[in-house]
Amino acid sequence: MLPKIPPEILRLYQPLSPWESFYLRARWRLCPFMSIEALLPPGGKVLDFGCGYGMLSNLISLRAPSRHVQGVDLNRNRIAVAKRSAIDRDNIDFYLGDVNDLMVETFDAVVMTDVMHHLSDQDSRIILRKISSCLRPGGLLVILDVDRRPFWKFFFTYLVDRCLNPRSTLHYRSSKRMITLLKQFSFAVKGIVPVHEGLPLSDVIYIGELESSSPSSQ
């Protein structure tokens, strides 16, 4: 049985349009947000890059008041909904923007869920470079993204993505390619967790830790 969106998260988003209501419920059931939240430090600054409607940001903020969460996304409508969901808490902020609008501050952890396959190789390099420069040494980068295996799950994921993003170019990477990319930006890969069991999608969680000797921390 896939998990239902918890009432304390759903409550934050009322009222929702029928499409948003369907999308948020489906997204929660298909994404291991609880597992990702559990990987993060219990306090400190967390960036949710490409946060969409901000459900994961809200979960991270609600689970530990000593965390401060920033959600960033370039979709104006999603950020407007996310901002509405967070009006009565001061440990969370949402910003409209992309990598060029990112912070001069230091984060303890960064999460990116299903964002990497929306980024070209060039953009993903720019973003990983920026993230490695704004994470503290030893800070965590947790990425959820589509793997190319098992093939039938990858194919199903591709069909869903195509329906939701008919005009976008999508950039799927194998886990081998993702690991190479992370290492290029001084992330030690601490874990690769397939999360497709019981789901028709081929998602994997990558857990990266910024090495203390990264160029940006020197």
Considering just the CA atoms, what is the radius of gyration of the chain in Å?
16
Q: How far is the CB of 212 from ligand SAM (least distance, A)?
A: 28
What burial letters (b/e) apply to 32-63, b meaning 16+ CB within 10 Å?
bbeebbeebeeebbbbbbbbbbbbbbbbbbbe
Residues that bind ligand SAM (CB under 6 A): 27, 31, 50-52, 55-56, 72-75, 78, 98-99, 113-115, 118-119
Compare residues 50 and 208 and give the one whose CB is closer to ligand SAM. Answer: 50
What is the DSSP code string of 131-153?
A: HHHHEEEEEEEEEEEE-S-SHHH
- Residue sitting closest to ligand SAM (CB): 52
138 or 200: whose CB is closer to ligand SAM?
200
Judge whether 205 and 193 are in contact, CB under 8 Å. yes
In the complex with ligand SAM, the residue whose CB is nearer, 96 or 192, is 96
Provide the minimum distance between the beta carbon of 164 and ligand SAM in the complex, in angstroms, as a whole number. 8
Output the smallest distance, CB 72 to ligand SAM, in A: 6
Considering the complex, state which of residue 20 and residue 98 has its C-beta at the smaller distance from ligand SAM.
98
